[in-house]
Amino acid sequence: MPGHNPLRHHYAPVFYLKAWCDADGKLSSYRWEGELLITGRNAPRSVGYEELLYSFTNLPEEKRQWLETEFFSREVDNNAASALSILKAEGVSSLSAGKPPQRRSSLRLQRHKRTPWPDGPNGPCFEPSGSVH
C-alpha cells in the first residue's frame, strides 16, 4: 500500500508460518539471549523477521523498502500464498506439469527469494543504484 513502510521484513512469510499455529493462533518460538534459551508463544507477525532486512539504504527514502513492499509482498508472497492454498485444497497433483506454471514455481521461488543475503541488499550483489546484478 502506498506510504506503508513496515519495519518488520519477514524472511519467513506470515502466511507460511500460520500453518504451524495452534488453535490460539500462535506458534512456539525460541531465541537465544547470550547463553540463555528463551521460549515463547507468538503470533506469526512477531517471528521470522528482521527490522528493515530488505531495505536499500543507498536509495531515496520513498524507494528504500521497494523490495519488501512491492516485490515480496505483492509479487512473491501473494503468488506463493495462492499456490499453497491450491496445494492444500487440491493436493500435490494440482502442481503437475499440466497446470499453470505459477502454481508449480510460486512456492519454490518464494522460498529462494525470501532467503536473507549474507551481506544484505546493500551488499556486493547490488549496484549502488539498487538494481540487482
Q: What is the pLDDT along the chain (133 residues), one digit of tens a residue?
A: 455 688 999 999 999 899 889 999 999 999 999 999 999 999 999 999 999 999 999 999 989 999 998 888 888 888 888 888 888 888 877 766 555 555 555 555 555 555 555 555 555 444 444 443 3
**Whole-structure pTM over 0.85, yes or no?**
no
Query: What DSSP letter does each residue of the chain carry, written as one string?
Result: -TT---SEEESS-HHHHGGG--TTS-EEEEEEETTEEEEEEE-GGGSSEEETTT--TTS-GGGTTHIIIIIIIIIIIHHHHHHHHHHHHH-GGGGSTTS-HHHHHHHHHHHHHTSPPTT-TTSTTB-TTS-B-
Instruction: Give me the residue spans of the domains in the chain.
Output: 8-18+50-113
